[in-house]
Amino acid sequence: MNKNIAPVRISAKDYAYQEIKRRILNCEYKPNQPLAEEELAKELKISRTPLREAMQRLELEELVVRQTNGRLKVAPVSAQEVRELFLVRSMLEGIIAAEAAEKCTEQDVRQLSYFAHMIKETAQEGDMEAVSQFGSQFHTQLYEVSQNKTAVKILRQLNDHIMRYRRLAHFIDTKETSFEHEVILDFIAKKDKKSAESMMKKHVLNAMEKAVTALEQSEDTINESEY
């Protein structure tokens, strides 16, 4: 390893964008929470110009919204948005699963088997953080195997928003649906495109129902919080 290689430096606007986005997706910044530019600039130790550029980018991604008074806040959440996001995701993930079934190798199946096993193990242990991590790795591996760049690009945009709902609904019991990854993988390993697609859609829509239920139990409190 070359010790003389300098660490990669990123611009102030990229740093601000990545850090604020991380806090929103992890729900460190709550839905509807005001975002004061002056306070953020001081906290992140950057000037107002790169911060504004970062906020404009987040606004385009609809993670931040501009109020009628011109001030910014974290985007609100709703059960309707959950349904829309997960419905579109189910269709795209179904396409990914079908194409992965067609193109997967034995090595791909082994890698996916490891992730599926860890999802089940960590779900049984009640480690939701680990379940989320291994679940993301399972789907990311499928993205790579499918080689469908367009579907993957759209999914990555959707998944930023979906992650917020996973965090807000962190108490969802995933033990019931964790086995679904193994069923999906079994169809993929058998190169059964139709069944892999159908099971993947069912898997995503099951997750949608759980997210909607969890969100509806707390939506009024979340969206009506005063700051």
Architecture of domain 79-219: Up-down Bundle (1.20)
pLDDT at residue 1 above 90?
Answer: no
């000037």: which residue's tokens?
47
pLDDT for 170-216, tens place per residue? 555 556 667 899 999 999 999 999 999 999 999 999 888 888 887 77
pTM score above 0.85: no
CATH number of 12-74: 1.10.10.10
CB 135 within 8 A of CB 177: no
Domain extents for the chain? 12-74, 79-219
pLDDT at residue 6 above 70?
Answer: no
**Average pLDDT, whole number, for the chain?**
87
User: Using CA atoms, how far apart are residues 18 and 8, in angstroms rounded to an integer?
Assistant: 15
> Looking at residue 58, what is its pLDDT?
96
The winner for highest mean pLDDT among 72-81, 98-107, 130-139 is 98-107
Do 12-74 and 79-219 share a fold? Answer: no
pLDDT for 133-183, tens place per residue? 898 899 999 999 999 999 999 998 888 888 888 776 655 555 666 789 999
pLDDT at residue 79 above 80?
Answer: yes
pLDDT at residue 50 above 60?
Answer: yes
> Looking at residue 129, what is its pLDDT?
80
Q: How far is CA 138 from the centre of its chain?
A: 13
